[in-house]
Structure 1
Amino acid sequence: MVKVVTAPRVNSEINKLKMAILHRPGKELERLTPQNLSELLFDDIPWVRRIQEEHDNFVKVLQQNRVEVLYLQNLLEEILKEENVKEKFIDELLQVNGVTSPKINNYLKEFLKEKSSNEVAEIAIGGLTLNEIKIKKSMMGLAEYIYQDSYFYIKPLPNLYFTRDPGAMIDGGLMISSMKTAARKPETLILKYIYKYHEIFRKNNIHWWYDDSYPHSIEGGDVLVLSEKVIAVGCSERTTPQAIEQLAHNLFEKGSSVERILVVQIPINRSYMHLDTVFTMVDTNRFVFYPGIKNELRVFSIIKEEKGFSIHQEKDLQTALKSALNLYTIDIIPTGGLNAITSAREQWNDSTNTLAIAPGVIVTYSRNEISNKIMEKEGIKVIPIEGSELSRGRGGPRCMTMPLLRE
């Protein structure tokens, strides 16, 4: 069992990263086919061995910079060693996967209860197909006959290596996302169980800010913790204004240090699914931004009041950042420079999805050469990693990291 001396807390986007949750891509990616790519939110099929090598190298970079890396699957395995927790988890896992036939449901329950905690965790992430269990013909329904061996009772979670999205630490509490797409909803079930039963959260009195019991979607990639008192939240393809308002209410009323939320409305587009695909913080007053959407942005402030909160529209992003963070100057670094084609190409390959591991020190994909050179010229220390396969899932180093603790 992982022992955590210091309670998880994140009050900054750039301070020294001390501990984070990651997930090593595995069997779930071997389940991708041309037929299910769209449903599982992928544009291409990654080469699994190579994507694991790239991820391992990313972890090595973090560890060399004294970041403690916790693997999501290991955390899940640890809590499932308690039989009552495992039994509850199996029930909810089958429910979230839409197993409705009583006969099949009972059969799968017994099948999974016989498995070890490691095996249940692997199945929850990697999926379970018809041809992997011995089921009597009398129990088969129409779906089994039509889809045959490719039928998933438990669907794989190939997006799980983007651990940023299912949740986010804000101050001393956890926001568990309410995911927009059906393909990603089981990811939050995993995080919810870890939050509820793992000692990292349970013994450290970690607050709760949001979860999937709310009907409106919000995802971790849209949340940036700019300072102790200010966060930015993207209103995007995946995050609704209703969810942002509810999060604001919970943060203001339940004792967080947050006093202001900058709501950044970005275009509803697959290319810009989350705020961190177009905008990230790299230093105290410096930000990386995709200039191709500059004219489409709208920015609002939700400000904590003595009773409730107020909302007003900001002039622009730069002005809002200066005011919220009490900074005299703000430096916005455009990805790809002023070349629209280069900027668009590198944004597609996650040039804006930088992970700050210390002020002015970021991890990025090496393939975004122009953007990386621009940031280095601006005095940012860039640590490049290979991401030819990792980037096929439409996410970068920030997407792959869920910070639990920053200095």
Structure 2
Amino acid sequence: MAERQIEKDVSDLAKELDEKIDKHIDSLPRKPYKGGLDPDNWREEIEKIPIFMTKPPTEEDIAASPDLQALQALKFAEDDTPEELAVSHKDDGNAHFKRKLYKRAIMAYTEGLQQKCDNVDLNTVLYTNRAAANFHLGNHRSSLNDATEAIKLKPSHVKALLRAAQCCLKLQEYTQCIQWCDKGLKIDSNDKKFLDVRAQAVKEKKTLEKDRRKKKASEKKELARLEKIMMAIKERNIRFAALPTEDGDNVDEEGPTSEEKLYEARIMAALATNHVSGASVELDEEGALSWPVRFLYPEYSQSDLIEAFHENSRFLDHFEIMFGVDESVPWDEDKVYTLENLQVYFEDIAKRELVRVNPKMTVKKVLQNERYQVVGNTPTFLILSKGSPFSDDYLKRYGR
């Protein structure tokens, strides 16, 4: 009986103490726990703890975490051999590659190669993997260089041979692509990847060569056409102004040559100049030239382009169509430009003077004037209205 009473007293005392402790804890002021996880973002915060990470950390993660920096230091310990360090960098590169972080993968593989370890197989893998990362970024030349280095170390490395072939295919270096494939097929004559790449290279090489032949034939035909036009222009003794080169020099400053060669060079340079409208000098079957001719109306800052002005046509023939009795241009609201008032001029480039043109003359006759020089492939003429205040003032600028 005495023992039971003692057990009951102890139990009651323990219960009383528990109640007092609970009351004491409940009476304590409530304060948030410092350093604890935020209940709203606990998943993101726990992901930052190295032991709980589910993805490889980025360089930004490592820079912001002392724990990761410590682990990184342990990973690349100073007492590690070059080979051990190269393996660690290779593993990092592979992790980045799987996440399609190809630039980081390239950096990791490069770090591995910079360890200069003596393991040929390891270095071959590093070059091959870096070639793959470069290939995915579209750096086909760099990828080819890495694949070539891998092959130097291990000539029978199939992955590097295939990568080199794929790069050459992208770079349109089809002959080299076929050569790389042939080396791979010597190792395995039934390798489908090499067979497919080789077949594609052969097909694209034929297409490229065909296109080049077509282009060459087209260029030859165009050159022959331009030479015929040049000869027709030379026969007419039409002069061309020197075109500035890309360096700002004139064509006749490129080197010593004959005057005739310089003249031909000026004509060919002008004929090769693309006009914004697509118009150019043409030679018809009868041996007559048609020119793209531009008329400028400075009073209204307007212009007209006659795309095919036959050399035997008169200026007046075009003006009768453009400014006839029943015709007018929308920008000439005051009807300043009338058939009776039109005056035609061209600029003497050498003397900086305006030369009056008789509108009854043909464009051929005007272009043969010893003071006229064609600029580009488009003869240009100023059209003024006789007696208008603007025209009088404009002519005074040229001393007329």
Q: What band does the TM-score fall into relative to the shorter chain?
A: under 0.3
Q: Which structure has greater helix proportion?
A: 2
Q: Rg larger in 1 or in 2?
A: 2
Using structure 1 for the length normalisation, give the TM-score.
Answer: 0.20
Using structure 2 for the length normalisation, give the TM-score.
Answer: 0.20
Q: Which structure has greater strand proportion?
A: 1
